[in-house]
């Protein structure tokens, strides 16, 4: 089922997600629906917060062929190094792209969609995507990394856009 993606400046995007207590059938369905929503959008990552489900769950697929789905439940960055500046966009902030600095290499521990713990080493696009989606779980949007002036302009534009709908 394709879920509705919240759009900036919706206040629900600022909700801090709670840890998933148990990977049960509800969580597994949420993962499936989030992948379907992300691929349909189309995007390379989606955090549960973006679909108004406030638990620590993200789905990602940075592959060209969209055939390498990655689910991270209760993700935690346990190591990070380097720096990369990367042009980011967001399904919750449509048609807006801006360079953001993040760690270039990270190691993440999480649970998969079956509830099994694992660790993953990520760099470049995957590392950026994981950090971007994890920010969502903490109520942070990529635009929060921009200058105050750019944030102000974007907020005005987004508010005008939402009035048109």
Per the annotation, the verdict on 83 as an active-site residue is no
22, 105, 119, 133: which is the annotated catalytic residue? 133
**DSSP 8-state class, residue 147:** -
- And the tokens for 28? 């597994």
- Site of tokens 């950090």: 131
Query: Distance between alpha carbon 61 and the CA centroid of its chain, in Å?
Result: 11
Active-site residue numbers? 133
């Amino acid at each position: 089922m394709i879920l509705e993606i919240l759009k900036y400046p919706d206040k629900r995007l600022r909700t801090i997600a709670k840890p998933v207590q148990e990977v049960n059938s509800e969580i597994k369905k949420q993962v499936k629906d989030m992948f379907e929503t992300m691929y349909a959008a189309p995007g390379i990552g989606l955090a549960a917060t973006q679909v108004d489900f406030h638990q620590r769950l993200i789905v990602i697929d940075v592959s060209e062929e969209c055939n390498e789905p990655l689910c991270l439940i209760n993700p935690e960055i346990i190591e990070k190094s380097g720096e990369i500046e990367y042009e980011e966009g967001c399904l919750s902030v449509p048609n807006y792209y801006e360079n953001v600095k993040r760690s270039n290499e990270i190691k993440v521990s999480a649970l998969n969609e079956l509830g099994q713990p694992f660790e993953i080493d990520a760099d470049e696009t995957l590392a950026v995507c994981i950090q971007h989606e994890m920010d969502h779980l903490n109520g942070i949007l990529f635009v929060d990394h921009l200058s105050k002036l750019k944030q102000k302009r974007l907020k005005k534009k987004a508010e005008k856009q939402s009035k048109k709908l």
